[in-house]
Structure 1
Amino acid sequence: MGKSGYLLLTNLILNICFREKLLEWIKYTQSNTEWMKSASMASKFRVQGNEKFKKCDDAGSLAFYTKSVVNAPRDSEELSLALANRSAALFHLGAYQECLRDIALALQSGYPTSLHYKLYLRRSQCLSILNRHKEEVEALQSAQKCLELTRNMSLSKKSSIERDIELALSEASSQLSIGSIQSASDGSEVSCIPVLTYGENQRFAYASAALDLRYTEEQGRHVVANRDVKMGDTLFVERPYAFVVLPDQYRAHCHNCCASYTAPVPCWECTLALYCSEACRQESWDLYHQWECHGGLELLHSIGIAHLGLRVVLKSGSLPTLKDFFTKLQESGSQLQDTYGDKQYNYKAVYQLVSHLDDMKLEDLFQYTMTACMLTLYLCHYTDYFKVEENSLSPDELLQDRKSVVCLVGAMILRHIAQLVCNGHAITKLDRTFPENENKEVWTERQVRIATAIYPSASMMNHSCDPNIINSFYNQYLIVRACKDISKGEEVFNCYGPHFRHMGSQERQEALRSQYFFICTCRPCSLSGQQDFQERFSALLCPKCSGPLLEGSESSRHMTCSDCGHSASISGLIENAFQAHALFNEGVVALDTGDIKQALKKFEACWYLRQQCLYRSHKDLTTCVDQLAKCYSMLGDYGRSVECLLLILPAVEEQFGSNSIEVANELQKLSDVMICDISDHSLGSAAYLEKHKKATECVQRAKRIFELHYGIWNTGLQDILYKEGQLEQMVM
């Protein structure tokens, strides 16, 4: 790491005055006790869940039972009751695997013996539905034994339950004897993770064999194709070295693997860390959470990406392992290795990522160093992380030793914080929402940030504002596919965020220079015709060739077309644009108040004016047509709605590219309305068949794009596959 950063860190961490100020801040954040378990809170939430369950609100009861599970102390009766009740809600919701897990956890947590038979009966019902009849018989037999031990029950009720168990046993045994097919859903999840095209690279961890890692003074480390690569080929499938779920996603995604869950398994000690399984909970505790628990996450929430810097160090092994690694690193020097990355222990690949500590502004360096000092003090004073030190010194004694492992750990945290500024990846997920007051033909999608992660192999790709790969995520896994054909010997480029289809040239350069410390010279940044690309979609209309008026002239009342060079007066165009804007706002108000016909009238007038003054792919023009399509759809005129959505497609293709996810989303929306339009025509008629053909073409194109960007786990692709089947049924 940079010498200036290390010297600053050691001076700050050993300065008594500075140290006391940081410890005061840590103590303040630790005073928040929201992370603590509470039997009374667990009981309160369980009672609220019971009320919802009585009203057959299974989803509502699940939410309260989960709060009860999260707040209940470890191995308490309250925890067992919450788990048992949640298993009932899960059964009613059809979440049978989660139900079985909660039943097992309730029994392990001390669920009252007199009620064990209830859980075994519920277990048998789940297993029956899953066609796991051998286990069903075992569960029913356990229910019988537990019922025999139950004392406080009327004889008639007990006899009734015994008869029910006998009937269920008879049925299960019958199914078992005829060899009923065992369900494949036995708890093991079918993996959606794609396979690397051309096989695994033995010298480049997580990369395809089609890639080589190269080094030059000018480009640094970079990735090159060693053969022709086709669009859609999978080039990286990488598990992160470490990641942290963002605080606003704690209640939706596993703290350890980033998977979404229905009924989370909570940390044993705190209410913040939630998991998809017991295995994830145990792994998380062993690797890092034991040092982040007991209020630590409250502190870590306040420091952003620095939390991941700490997580990297914690996941890198025990203190002896870290010291041994650092010793070997110093002995080997900076010589290049034949291989990069190791799936078993990938810390070296992370450590060798560029940190740019010596390139940073002093104020940024001081901030990162101060944060690293605070995290080191937190480990010293609020965890047992340093307990393995041979000297068994007190925290203050450790800090007085300038050569101690404490400063080494602090330096590593600082290095990783700085690396993450340039190498951190945002794990994202596509989120779809349906407005409550509108029909299902109208929906919106957006990328939601789930977590921040570090992928050392994928970090080897250099940046281009027009990349030839696309990234997607399946839980914690990063999947990199070629979005264009890549020739042998051609460099593989990622986009670090500033994409020429989403951001102007000057803004891109500023972003890359401030965060990544380089000036981009990629094709969109170098070619004069590409530098004003974004301006096309906010341009006025050239009266001569219908191109975009972009460049200014000597007069402020004239602009020049970037396509034909014609200079045109813009006063009339601007006047029409203002009138159209007023009409659009009136249409929005009418739509909000439910007057769809009036909204349609306003949007049609707006569209007419905007066609006269705005470039054909202007954002305002496409937004207006989209509102027209919405109005027609809400009025049931699906044919006109389809016509409007077809007008939008060329503009979306021009701005984002023909294989972009934005085009796929438009095709998704279009296919929804097309299917509704088909249903308005007589089965087998010429119009029906023609519209069916076009809808099928639309769905097939959307499918190809979604498959390029995502995998079968993606809801957009799942919807398209459903519609593909739906269209097949419509011609049978």
Structure 2
Amino acid sequence: MLLIRSTEFVPAWHPLELSYGPQVGQLDLQDRQNLLEEQYSFKCQCSSCSELNFSDLIINAFRCPKADCLGVVSHVSHYKKIEDDLLQVSGASYSCRLSLPVVSKHKMGISKVAHMLIKENGVTCDIGPGYCLSCGCYRDLEFSVTASNSAMFNIQMLKDSITSKGVPDILISDALESLSHLKMIRHPYSKVVAQAEDNIAEAYVRIGEFERAMNHCIASIEILEKLYPAEHIVIGHELMKLASIQLSLDDHAAALSSIKQVEAIFSLYYGSHMTKIFPYIEAFKREAESLLEETNSV
């Protein structure tokens, strides 16, 4: 008997959707479509690939040059509103039509980063690469891409240098400076920034700077929570890293809270098999509970 486990609520008569590859949050729409067409020779028309979603807008975006604007700047996609609820999105190697979501309290994120795409009915827009999707300001893409790549290179050097023997101080210093530059160029919710925060967190763990590691780990998780659904397994793995750091800081209550979040997420994916597939989660939980009990009894 074949059993299919859904990770989210599926309304009656709604078709079941199975991912053939990278999901929303892992790659943007263009890269997902290109990969599926190359590997499986079809154009995906699932709900995530048929409607404009927050993650696809921000995952690889640059930030608006206007300081008080949270709008995104795309360096590849051209957005053209062709009907009140229909958007034409095109790039160098793809073109597709996406339905525009109804802006509700659950979709307010799109309104904040791409206000021009979902303005009132009857208002058209035609926005090319380099222009903010909220206010229309222009960003120099050639300079921004070069500066972003340079910052990412320094952070990658830090990641490549991580060993059991520690991390050179100069590389951490350079990576922190590069992260600061990256945040001035890339959108604050972009996956590039999340990965940079995660790399620096790992470096701090290696040298025993757990407080700083925790701050960067939390910053990474906060971005991932923008890219992925709230209970996505990617967030579960990052929360497990956070729990480990919190245990190292003797913050047993916080660690236990993080582990319980991990349990909830992994149970959604693996059900009763979770403890067999990830036995270390139960071990972490027991350790956190034991240490918390000892702390409270003192």
1:497 lines up with 2:21 in the alignment:
yes
Q: 1:707 aligns with which of 267, 270, 279?
A: 267
Counterpart of 2:73 in 1: which secondary structure? strand
Match of 1:650 in 2: 222
Q: Deviations over 1:523-557 (max 9, x none)?
A: 33323x34x9546322221123233211668xxx9
Match of 2:73 in 1: 549
Match of 1:664 in 2: 236
Partners of 2:25 and 2:232 lie apart in 1 by 10
1:325-724 equivalences in 2 (<5 Å): 480-497=4-21, 499-509=23-33, 519-527=43-51, 529-530=52-53, 533-534=55-56, 536-544=58-66, 545-550=69-74, 559-570=130-141, 572-574=143-145, 576-588=147-159, 591=162, 594-678=166-250, 691-710=251-270, 711-712=272-273, 717-724=278-285
Partners of 1:584 and 1:514 lie apart in 2 by 31
Q: Is the Cα contact below 8 Å between 1:626 and 1:644 reproduced in 2?
A: yes
Q: CA deviation at 1:727?
A: 1.5
Aligned residue identity for 2:235? V
Q: CA deviation at 1:663?
A: 0.6
Q: CA deviation at 1:693?
A: 2.6
Q: Deviations over 1:263-319 (max 9, x none)?
A: xxxxxxxxxxxxxxxxxxxxxxxxxxxxxxxxxxxxxxxxxxxxxxxxxxxxxxxxx
Q: Deviations over 1:106-146 (max 9, x none)?
A: xxxxxxxxxxxxxxxxxxxxxxxxxxxxxxxxxxxxxxxxx
Partners of 1:677 and 1:562 lie apart in 2 by 42
Q: Is the Cα contact below 8 Å between 2:63 and 2:186 reproduced in 1?
A: yes
Aligned residue identity for 1:480? I
Aligned residue identity for 1:692? H
Match of 1:377 in 2: none
Residues 594 and 517 of structure 1: CA distance in aligned 2, closer, same or farther (over 3 Å): closer
Q: CA deviation at 1:707?
A: 0.9
Partners of 1:708 and 1:541 lie apart in 2 by 34
Aligned residue identity for 1:537? I
* TM norm structure 1: 0.30
Q: Is the Cα contact below 8 Å between 1:588 and 1:599 reproduced in 2?
A: no
Q: CA deviation at 1:518?
A: 5.2
Q: CA deviation at 1:603?
A: 1.4
Partners of 1:488 and 1:558 lie apart in 2 by 40
Partners of 1:515 and 1:577 lie apart in 2 by 30
Counterpart of 1:658 in 2: which secondary structure? coil
Q: Deviations over 1:370-409 (max 9, x none)?
A: xxxxxxxxxxxxxxxxxxxxxxxxxxxxxxxxxxxxxxxx
Partners of 1:622 and 1:642 lie apart in 2 by 14
Partners of 1:517 and 1:583 lie apart in 2 by 37
Partners of 1:585 and 1:487 lie apart in 2 by 43
Partners of 2:43 and 2:182 lie apart in 1 by 38
Counterpart of 1:616 in 2: which secondary structure? coil
Partners of 2:273 and 2:204 lie apart in 1 by 32
Q: CA deviation at 1:648?
A: 0.3
Residues 706 and 518 of structure 1: CA distance in aligned 2, closer, same or farther (over 3 Å): same
Residues 614 and 505 of structure 1: CA distance in aligned 2, closer, same or farther (over 3 Å): closer
Q: Is the Cα contact below 8 Å between 1:629 and 1:641 reproduced in 2?
A: yes
Q: Deviations over 1:53-96 (max 9, x none)?
A: xxxxxxxxxxxxxxxxxxxxxxxxxxxxxxxxxxxxxxxxxxxx
Tell me which of the two structures has the higher relative contact order, counting C-alpha pairs closer than 8 angstroms and 6 or more residues apart: 2
Match of 1:728 in 2: 289
Residues 650 and 715 of structure 1: CA distance in aligned 2, closer, same or farther (over 3 Å): farther
Residues 594 and 495 of structure 1: CA distance in aligned 2, closer, same or farther (over 3 Å): closer
Residues 601 and 516 of structure 1: CA distance in aligned 2, closer, same or farther (over 3 Å): closer
Q: Is the Cα contact below 8 Å between 2:28 and 2:59 reproduced in 1?
A: no
Q: CA deviation at 1:705?
A: 0.6
Q: Deviations over 1:18-59 (max 9, x none)?
A: xxxxxxxxxxxxxxxxxxxxxxxxxxxxxxxxxxxxxxxxxx
Aligned residue identity for 1:712? H
Residues 577 and 510 of structure 1: CA distance in aligned 2, closer, same or farther (over 3 Å): closer
Partners of 1:726 and 1:615 lie apart in 2 by 38
Identity rate, percent: 19
Aligned residue identity for 1:502? Q
Q: CA deviation at 1:486?
A: 1.8
Q: Deviations over 1:187-240 (max 9, x none)?
A: xxxxxxxxxxxxxxxxxxx2xxxxxxxxxxxxxxxxxxxxxxxxxxxxxxx2xx
Q: CA deviation at 1:622?
A: 2.2
Partners of 1:502 and 1:589 lie apart in 2 by 22
For this pair of structures, how many residues does the alignment match?
A: 239
Counterpart of 1:730 in 2: which secondary structure? helix
Q: Is the Cα contact below 8 Å between 1:542 and 1:548 reproduced in 2?
A: yes
Residues 523 and 644 of structure 1: CA distance in aligned 2, closer, same or farther (over 3 Å): same
Partners of 1:562 and 1:525 lie apart in 2 by 19
* Structure ID, larger Rg: 1
Q: Is the Cα contact below 8 Å between 1:706 and 1:716 reproduced in 2?
A: no
Note the aligned Cα RMSD (angstroms).
3.1
Partners of 1:601 and 1:502 lie apart in 2 by 28
Aligned residue identity for 2:290? Q
Aligned residue identity for 1:483? T
Q: Deviations over 1:551-574 (max 9, x none)?
A: 668xxx971223444333345534
Structure 2 residue runs of 5 or longer lacking an equivalent are 79-127, 294-298
Residues 673 and 579 of structure 1: CA distance in aligned 2, closer, same or farther (over 3 Å): same
Q: CA deviation at 1:609?
A: 1.1
Partners of 2:37 and 2:281 lie apart in 1 by 40
Residues 591 and 569 of structure 1: CA distance in aligned 2, closer, same or farther (over 3 Å): same
* TM norm structure 2: 0.68
Aligned residue identity for 1:541? R
Q: CA deviation at 1:509?
A: 4.4
Q: Is the Cα contact below 8 Å between 1:512 and 1:520 reproduced in 2?
A: yes
Aligned residue identity for 1:610? L
Residues 704 and 563 of structure 1: CA distance in aligned 2, closer, same or farther (over 3 Å): farther
